[in-house]
Homo-oligomer: A and B are copies of this chain.
Amino acid sequence: MEITLDSPLDMHLHLRDGDMLKLTAPLSADFAGAVIMPNLVPPITTPDAMVAYSRRIREAMGEDVAFSRYMTLFFTPQTEATLQSICDTPEFFAFKLYPAGITTNSEGGISHMKEADSTLRMMEEMGIPLLVHGESHGFVMDREAEFLAVYRDLATRYPKLRLCMEHITTAAALQLLDEFENLCATVTLQHLLITLDDVAGGALNPHLFCKPIAKRPGDRDALLQAALEAHPRLMFGSDSAPHPLHKKECCGCAAGVFTAPLALPKLAELFAAHGSLGNLQNFVSGNARKLYGLTPVSRPITLTDTPTHVPASYRSFGQQVVPMYAGESIGWSVKKD
């Protein structure tokens, strides 16, 4: 069995910078394009920094690789003039809003949503998408559910704003998605597959620890169902988030699961196992193109049901990253010409 996908997109990707970027960029090129997260140190907040980062990504991926870089800026309040100049930057796709301190390198994020109001009003008018890491500072299992009130408020007050709930992890978020037509959402590979049991139910597994944390079986099941049905406002966004090995396997490990190199084979295996392979194109590309009006580079990729062996880790440029399914086999693989 095989399937050819037309320009698959990863709508939420962390590539990092420097030597880590050199490692991750080529490993992320199964996709024809991606929305690139801006939470570097320091975060990407200006068009100049964004354009320079886009160039570094292109260089790291290889000049000859056709890959659409949908660049984001770390949300900070803007004037009309700065917003206009941002919009005039061709690489720019969207703002990513982080509540302050909520995840990796988000210390400069927003503390009170009212700080964002005038900028959001302009973004609504100018058609700029707002991508949100939607978690409160509450109890870890409740953070997304508690943030849904903020999404509800934003979706109500800015009916024309293209508002995306990034990496949703709960059945409650899916319900909200169905309430507001101006909401869309991304979901990761791991949140279709795992629960808190996989992180902390047996032995503690740092390589499956991410933010938002994996939730209950009922949440995972609801997300998987919506993905398999290619819910028209749900998009694949891996949130593939590499950390150096020593920041994962030590005390106080960093949050993030590295899935970029295996996401498409695993998604194909998962959709095929549920008889939903016909919906994969929309989940990994069609929905995003329609919702955002994207026209990525044209690049087909064929996936086939011959196994992939996932290495124990990826090493290069002095970096070492452990992927999801390290040392295991996945039933599908990318077909090389």
Contact surface of A with B, Cβ cutoff 8 Å: 139-141, 195-197, 199-201, 203-207, 209, 213, 216-217, 248-255, 322
Contacts and interface: CB of A to CB of B under 8 A. Distances in A.
Contact of A200 (B140, B217, B248, B249): B140
A196 B255 contact: no
Contacts of A216: 139, 141
A296 B104 CA distance: 51
A251 B249 contact: yes
Contacts of A251: 205-207, 248-249, 322
Contacts of A254: 203
Given A141-B216, A216-B139, A252 B203 contact: yes
22 contacts: A139-B195, A139-B196, A139-B197, A139-B201, A140-B196, A140-B200, A140-B201, A141-B141, A141-B196, A196-B200, A199-B200, A200-B200, A200-B209, A203-B252, A203-B253, A204-B206, A204-B253, A204-B255, A205-B252, A207-B251, A248-B251, A249-B251
A253 B249 CA distance: 9
Q: Interface residues of A: mostly helix, strand, loop or mixed? A: loop
A203 B199 CA distance: 13
Contacts of A209: 200, 204
B217 A139 contact: yes
Contacts of A206: 204, 251
A144 to B, nearest CB: 13
Nearest to A326: B251
A209 B200 CA distance: 8
Given A139-B196, A139-B197, A204-B206, 17 more contacts: A139-B195, A139-B201, A140-B201, A141-B196, A200-B200, A200-B213, A203-B252, A203-B254, A203-B255, A204-B204, A204-B252, A204-B253, A205-B251, A205-B252, A248-B251, A249-B249, A249-B250
Contacts of A252: 203-205
A200 B143 CA distance: 13
Nearest to A199: B200
Contacts of A248: 251
Chain B CB within 10 A, most for which of A204, A253, A254: A204
A140 B203 contact: no
Nearest to A207: B251
A205 B140 CA distance: 14
A250 B248 CA distance: 9
Nearest to A218: B139
A217 B322 CA distance: 33
A298 to B, nearest CB: 40
A287 to B, nearest CB: 30
